[in-house]
Amino acid sequence: MLSCEEVVERASEYLDRDLGRWGRLKVRLHIAMCKHCNRYVLQLGLTTRLVRSRPADPLAPHVEDQLIESFRQAPPEA
Ligand SMILES: [Zn+2]
């Protein structure tokens, strides 16, 4: 069984599917039993996906303005 440190070290490889079949299985076994690593891997996966789904360029200025404007007109808590 892998230690938590080993799982953390391998988490991004696991998410990128760079680990071999056996390596993935060992990580999966660990996160099935360890809620800390489970949460860590889940969080890392979400963050990675979010970062990668965005274009490399920063938000275009007019898009940012539109976002701010739409929040002004309809505040999220209203
Ligand atoms: Zn763990």
Taking the centre of ligand 1 as the mean of its atom positions, its distance from the CA of residue 53, in whole angstroms, is 28
Q: CB–CB of 1/29 below 8 Å? A: yes
What per-residue confidence (pLDDT) applies to 77?
Answer: 63
Residue 43, amino acid = Q
Taking the centre of ligand 1 as the mean of its atom positions, its distance from the CA of residue 40, in whole angstroms, is 9
- Report the Cα 71 to chain-centroid distance in Å: 26
What per-residue confidence (pLDDT) applies to 57?
Answer: 65
Q: What is the DSSP secondary-structure string of 46-58? A: HHHHHHHHS-SSP
What per-residue confidence (pLDDT) applies to 69?
Answer: 82
Q: CB–CB of 3/34 below 8 Å? A: no
Convert the pLDDT of each residue in 15-71 to its tens digit. 999 999 999 999 999 999 999 999 999 999 988 888 887 766 666 777 778 878 887
Taking the centre of ligand 1 as the mean of its atom positions, its distance from the CA of residue 73, in whole angstroms, is 45
Give how far Cα 17 sits from Cα of 49, 55, 73, Å: 14, 22, 43
The ranges assigned to domains in the chain are 4-73
